[in-house]
Amino acid sequence: MHIVIDRSSKISVKEQVRLEFAQRIRSGLLENGFQLPSVRQLSAQLSISLVTAHKVYNSLEIDGLIESIRGKGSFVKYPKSLSTAVPQNIPQAIQNPFDWQLAISDYLPRASLWSQSAIRLSPEILDLATASIHYTLLPLELLQTSIKKSLQQYPHSLGIYSPYQGDSEFLSAISNYLVAQKIPIHTHQLIVTNGTQQGMDLFARTFLGPGDIVAMEVPCFPGTIDAFRLSHATIQPVPIDHDGIRIDVLEDLSTHMKIKAIYTVPTCQNPTGSIMSLKRRMELLEFATNNNVLILEDDPHRELALPPSQSLNKLPPPLKILDQTGRVVYLKGFSKFLFPGLRLGIVAADGTIFNRLLAIKSIADLGSPLWLQKALIALFSNPQLLQYIKKLIQRLEYRSELVTAKLSKDLNPLIRYQKKQGGMHLWLTLPYSISADNLIPIAHHQGIHFLPGSIFYPGEPEQNHLRICWTNLSDDDLPKALDILCRILNQSVNP
């Protein structure tokens, strides 16, 4: 376990070290029963005072993450799944034939989605957590047609490596699709990735490291936080308002720190669903140019913007298109509205930033599967694709209204949520004293699953939020799941 302390940070050393432990424990990377170094050892390893080391463990114990036993030491006390009431025998020795491995240190600070996936759900539980569109709404027939066509047209591509950048025909098809969406990005700017998650990981690995500061919207997609934390950069949370990331906060931060990069999902933000105004986009670009900051723009949900407040024709362009300076790195995913089972996305960049991202793609996996790219060329060239997107928006609009009607009728008004502008999520805020994490075992017991809001924060988690995805269930199951959700949340507010 490697802990990087930033002694120039405004956050206290104690708080930094506490957070490193807390995130590893909450992720399950430090397992239940794991013996922590003694206060003396921790103090020596990190060159911190004994008092600070003691305070770190004290806070962790108050938060219920560890247990200190006089004469024995401090042990992680955090069951893997909060939903399974595993009896805790601490500090019982771990019965693991690979016990010696615990001494092998690693560089993982947190892995929040992995820790969520470790929760074993029985199949009858209705999943409001996974962010995808129910497969009956996806264009599976268009996909099958495209795949069959490629088997005839490109059989040899099964037996050939892809160029690191991607297949040139596939890149052309993607570029044409983007142009049709009024996003003029061209093949020489594109690199194929395994979904946008790989794109953000490549960016973080190339440009972020210990001592670098990356500003990000909060709340924010946990996978991004994981990737940034893994780079050991310092994450600076920036709040959002109705128009998007707050420039006044960025300006204020930049008076006393050098921000290297900003991460944002300007269109249908995850988890709030909000859309950054054109004015705010221009202000953000101006800030970035004035302060020589890179922008990582993540755009997986653009096709899911909802009318009437927004339509594809009225949406402000991506930052990448508004930018004249080559400082925006643009991630475009297709998992959310087309094919989560194929995991192909793209990253678009210019100049040496493009070169450097391509270099790291070659190291990460030597390129994405050639044949999979060939299999999708017909899909992206098919005029029916745009018709499908239109129809999908109509169906999601219907669903979205169903969800709003349901919640406004049945949910206690103490529980707040933002009116949807697009995307597939809803971000719910409970009264401050209620922890959504604590509701998860109850939810599982009653037959639903959702994501606790706590994993959407890079630093100290706020626990009174939760995210639901309203597109992942069938038409039949969604109302049932919402019923259960309202019941649980109302009960938590008014027990």
Q: Which residues from 125-154 bind a copy of itself, rule CB under 8 A?
A: 130, 132-135, 138, 140, 143-144, 147-148, 151
Interface map 51-90 toward a copy of itself (x if CB under 8 A): ----------------------------------------
Interface map 307-326 toward a copy of itself (x if CB under 8 A): ------------------xx
From the list 22, 2, 11, the residue with the least C-alpha distance to 437 is 22
- Residue 339 as a binder of a copy of itself (CB under 8 A): the answer is yes
Report how far residue 264's alpha carbon sits from residue 245's, in angstroms, rounded to the nearest whole number.
Answer: 8
- Residue 195 as a binder of a copy of itself (CB under 8 A): the answer is yes
- The DSSP-derived string for 74-102 is EEE---S-TTS-PPP-TTPPP--TTGGGG
Among 23, 27, 52, 59, indicate the residue that binds a copy of itself (CB under 8 A).
Answer: 27
Give min distance, CB of 15 to a copy of itself, in A.
Answer: 23
Those residues with Cβ within 8 angstroms of residue 260's Cβ, 6 or more apart along the chain or in another chain: 207, 208, 212, 213, 214, 233, 293, 294
> Contacts with a copy of itself in 340-359 (CB under 8 A)?
340-344, 350-353, 355-356, 358-359
Among 85, 92, 95, 100, indicate the residue that binds a copy of itself (CB under 8 A).
Answer: 100
> Contacts with a copy of itself in 255-294 (CB under 8 A)?
260, 292, 294
> Contacts with a copy of itself in 196-255 (CB under 8 A)?
197-198, 201, 205-209, 223, 226-227, 230
Of 276-284, 311-319, 368-376, 474-482, the window that binds a copy of itself (rule: CB under 8 A) is: 368-376
- Residue 162 as a binder of a copy of itself (CB under 8 A): the answer is yes
Give min distance, CB of 337 to a copy of itself, in A.
Answer: 11
Comparison of 79 and 307: residue with beta carbon closer to a copy of itself: 79
Q: Which long-range contacts (CB under 8 A, 24 or more apart) does 86-92 make?
A: 86/32, 88/32, 89/33, 90/32, 90/33, 91/33, 91/35, 91/67, 92/33
Among 92, 95, 101, 494, indicate the residue that binds a copy of itself (CB under 8 A).
Answer: 101
Comparison of 61 and 127: residue with beta carbon closer to a copy of itself: 127
- The pair of structure tokens assigned to 85 is 């009431």
Q: CA-CA distances (angstroms) from residue 232 to 12, 97, 102, 223?
A: 17, 31, 21, 15
Of 191-199, 314-322, 385-393, 405-413, the window that binds a copy of itself (rule: CB under 8 A) is: 191-199
Of 48-56, 157-165, 314-322, 439-447, the window that binds a copy of itself (rule: CB under 8 A) is: 157-165
Q: Which long-range contacts (CB under 8 A, 24 or more apart) does 437-445 make?
A: 437/82, 437/463, 438/82, 439/466, 439/488, 439/489, 439/492, 440/82, 440/83, 441/82, 441/83, 441/85, 442/488, 443/484, 443/485, 443/488, 444/83, 444/119, 444/121, 444/125, 445/83
- Residue 370 as a binder of a copy of itself (CB under 8 A): the answer is yes
Using DSSP bridges, classify how beta strands 328-333 and 345-348 pair: parallel, antiparallel or unpaired. antiparallel
Those residues with Cβ within 8 angstroms of residue 285's Cβ, 6 or more apart along the chain or in another chain: 295, 319, 322, 323, 328
Give min distance, CB of 117 to a copy of itself, in A.
Answer: 6
- Residue 156 as a binder of a copy of itself (CB under 8 A): the answer is yes
